[in-house]
Chain A
């Protein structure tokens, strides 16, 4: 028989790498879960974890070596993530920075900007918030009205951002501002970085469904920002932001490990119940299979990318899939946990984590572009349906 090119198993090097990650995680992951990253105490604990990760050179593993990363390829990244979730390591408080702004800077930033921001991001010194949405610009992001008007060597920023993830405790935000006040829609927008402690910035925390301020409103009142904080060309913000949003929908942020661990955990809590309704058993099987399907798909996508192929609107399919699955898993868990699923105190049961996860799973179909928008993208760009 001819040897198949398709090899669905790890190489010796990949397995060795896995062992290295596993052993580091074993000695370094905090034995007790950290406090929620959306509390001021928990936020600092998570910042400290970013620093610890960075000391082991594990914070920016996919970044090229020249920027202080490990230059991991995508398969190694997936292995890293599997070990990360397997070890129950803390949530990355700086994922806006690491996975969204970092790659954006590498592609569009100046040398000076890379130097100034990448390493501080890696160490957890700068934790980043997203500054896209505005009260009148959610799904329709081109409706942005906040302005950044150029005056000599600085921009004067006015307006309001909202639903800005991590902004309550973060140090910086990146976002789109209208730098040409005569412009409309996706023209005349600029991609600008703003320190959240600048004079004129007011951050008002917004409590989320879980009661914690995971996002915030940001008000800008004549905030002065030097033009060094502009990424790319003035007025070219839209296409840069689209690249950033592509990173968000892409596979980096939603590695399968997270869903596989949740699915496995779900099966384990179900096993403790002797009397499960047939509908719940069906849901369990369905969830587990879909987590598998997601993993297989992502490994295939990663292989394609490594072979030099490109993916475009296909990432919208993935976003719809994982967010639907995440909700299904958590909603099934609450049914299994029964009356405990009401209890929020962590001491009482392990239900608290599921409730928090359930609340968060409700956000999945909304953030990173609602699933309705994703379905439009699939229909128009993959299936060729008219706008």
Chain B
């Protein structure tokens, strides 16, 4: 996926001025948040579960190297071929190599943000391999030639009418604006692709260390078909996806499904333990796990940013974020969006290219409040701002202004004098960007501290 986050500000008006987009987003996020809230209300120990999940992830990543080694060893024992990819290029090269090894011309793919992150589809297409997205939302976007706008609901920004129009245009026949009918059309189209493909590609929601297995969570059965129909399966696994034990799923699965799609459990959870036995009727004969780093381990070395690796990619922070609700995911200009995206994108693509994102937040804390694994997201946004400043990436006038602030506000007499002087400036004109849409308050003729003399004649505690 093409990185656009350095153009965040320039791209913003296109999203802000798109009334239809804002309506779609407001409707979709409000609906899912209300349903989620209703489910959470049924779980008295929800808060305790969030904290338990945080603790489990923390413990696991403190022992990361060993856990990764055990996972790889256990998977290998079941006949999975496990690879590690340091970066995106290596991960794509591995996929290309596996496709070549098995003479693959057509690939079906279930939803995976990691493969978006590493640009897998483009990499395979460049080698003449046809990739078909089989998640309905992802397929819609593949038809539209767009990037996903959400972690779990990639086409959240599109209305049914817009999707019907897209199908009609791309498939060359009129398609009605009826969700059921549109789904049927997609199913007919995709079923053929499922039967033709020589290789399936998936992500992994959870990688279970003790068994070397992966769990894939979905509602459309497309992931189930992706892992079971083609003879070859490749799963891309972010190195941080680990859970220690299968029984941890009892904690993490509902945290994920309630937070993402407001379901107690999704329709399907597939558990892939390795290649099918020789006498099995179906299932892949060759299974590959590719553990992708791509900046994760560097992020993990910073004790604070490591918390962002606890993320289970539910997208609840997107839904709860008033900025996301206003501009949608594509505005962020990369795969990961919303609050968690603004925290991790600078780590994955470089501080410099994503430096605007941590500032595009009102720091309201709705993200931290909703995160099912208790990541203090808005505090991490603050931390990223600090890192961006420390790296010297902010504009010179701003640095100067802040230095002046520090000096001026360090002493009350300086502060008083400075404000007396500020009175003489055309204050209203200085804040043009503010006052275009909002009335700016006037500096008071006499500050409170000047009135305090008369209010408190003897202003000292006894």
A-B interaction: no
Q: What residues of chain A have their CB less than 8 Å away from a CB belonging to chain B?
A: none
Q: What residues of chain B have their CB less than 8 Å away from a CB belonging to chain A?
A: none
